[in-house]
Each structure stands twice: as structure tokens, then as C-alpha cells.
Amino acid sequence: MRVISGSAKGRPLKAVPGNGTRPTTDKVKESIFSIIGPYFDGGKVLDLFAGTGGLGIEALSRGIQQGVFIDLEHKSIEVIRGNLQVAGLTEQAEVYRNEAGRALKVLAKREALFDLVFLDPPYKMKNGIELMNEMHERGLLAPVATIVLEYESGHDYPEELEHFVCIRHVVYGETAINVYEYEPQQQGGQSSNE
């Protein structure tokens, strides 16, 4: 695993020891960034089940200004910190050990706003849509934010949701990716100004 492009191009990334995490392969990562990028002019990324931090680090390397990395596993947190250091991106990142739902509550209290979100929960969890809806309800998403949901290809997620539209769906073996665009104005005709 390595950083594919940008300021940290070619830097090697460590995997989390054991087989509890499933890092996104370089091939899938390259495909994701060709869909959503490939480069960015600032913004903030949330890597919610960060694992190695590879996706968030790639986004930072490609021009995203700030990143928040969340994972529940202590080993993952150590690996993310190490990978950020190797990539020279520590100053642009915050790393927290927390459960995803609790992390979203904390981030909402801090009035965080994300332009890009990576959701790569363990394959046994099928709660991607619930997490996306919670981010909407908590006001964590910038208008036209992009959400990348990675999941087991045997599972189906809807293409259209109340506040999200799937702009791309790709499958690589047992990995499926849905790229959603956030459309907060789809609120049943309500105006966003009070």
C-alpha cells in the first residue's frame, strides 16, 4: 500500500496488524479518486472507519486541507498516526479513537463540516445509509459534499435517497463502491432559510 498521487506520492503506508481490517487496495483507491477528484482545492475530509487511514491520507495528499480520522481499534489509531507521519501530513489531521455514532455526535457539537466523507464500515455492518442520514441530521455535510461508501458487493444500497444521489456505482470482486452526492435542498419543498 502506498500514497498514489499528490504531495505524498509514493510514500509507503503500513497495514493494521492482524486481519481485523481490510485496507482498500491501491487499484480501488485509484478508481475512487478518478471518480471524485482526482485533485482538490482545500476542503475537509472525514475518514469514519479509517483503518489504516489510507483513503483520508490520499485525499490530503491530493489537496484536501484538513482531515479527521476515526476508528474504534487502538491498533488502527497507532497505524493511522504512523502513516500520517510518514506521509508528512500530521499537521493537517486529527485522529480519534471512537465508535462511529458517538464520533458523529462529538463532531456535530464542534460544528464540523465535511466536503468529503469515506465510509468503509466492516462488511458485517450494513449501516451506511443510517450513518449518512445521521450526518445530514447533525448538519455535518457541506452542500454538494461527496460520500464514498465502500461495502460488500453482495449487499445492495439504494441509488436514490432523500438527501443523496448515487452518481457512480462500481464493483471490484467482493468490494462495491457507491459515490453519493449530498443534496440538502431535497427537503420536501422546505426552504433552508428559517
Read out DSSP for 115-147? Answer: EEEEE---TT---HHHHHHHHHHTT-EEEEEEE
Do the domain assignments include residue 14? no
Q: Which domain holds residue 178?
A: 28-159+169-182
Number of domains in the chain: 1
| Residue 20 belongs to some domain of the structure | no
pTM: predicted TM-score of the whole model, two decimal places: 0.92
Which domain CATH number covers 71? 3.40.50.150
CA dist 146 → 20, 39, 143, 166, 168 (Å): 27, 13, 9, 10, 11
Helix (H, G, I), strand (E, B) or coil at 6: coil
CB under 8 Å to 62, separation ≥6 — which residues?
5, 6, 33, 37, 38, 39, 40
Residue 95 lies in a domain: yes
Each residue's pLDDT tens digit, 118-168:
999 988 889 999 999 999 999 999 999 999 999 999 999 988 889 999 999
Return mean pLDDT, the chain: 92
Mean pLDDT of 64-80: 97
The residue type found at 177 is: I
**Per-residue pLDDT band at 186 (split at 50, 70, 90):** low
Expressed in percent and rounded to 5, the helix, strand and coil fractions of the chain are: 30, 25, 45
Q: Indicate whether 4 belongs to any domain.
A: no
CA atoms within 13 A of residue 176's CA, in its CB half-sphere: 17
pLDDT per residue as tens digits for the range 166-181: 999 999 999 999 999 9
Of 119, 114, 8, 1, nearest to 60 (Cα)? 8
In a domain, 151, yes or no: yes
In a domain, 19, yes or no: no
Is 51 exposed, middle or buried (CB count within 10 Å of its CB: 0-12, 13-18, 19+)? buried
Domain-located, residue 49: yes
CB contact at 8 A, 121 and 88: no
pLDDT in tens, 36-56: 999 999 999 999 999 999 999
Separate counts of helices (H) and strands (E) for the chain = 5, 7
Cα gap 13→85, rounded to integer Å? 10
Task: Report, as an integer, the average pLDDT of 179-191.
Answer: 69
Kindly state whether residue 193 falls inside one of the protein's structural domains.
no
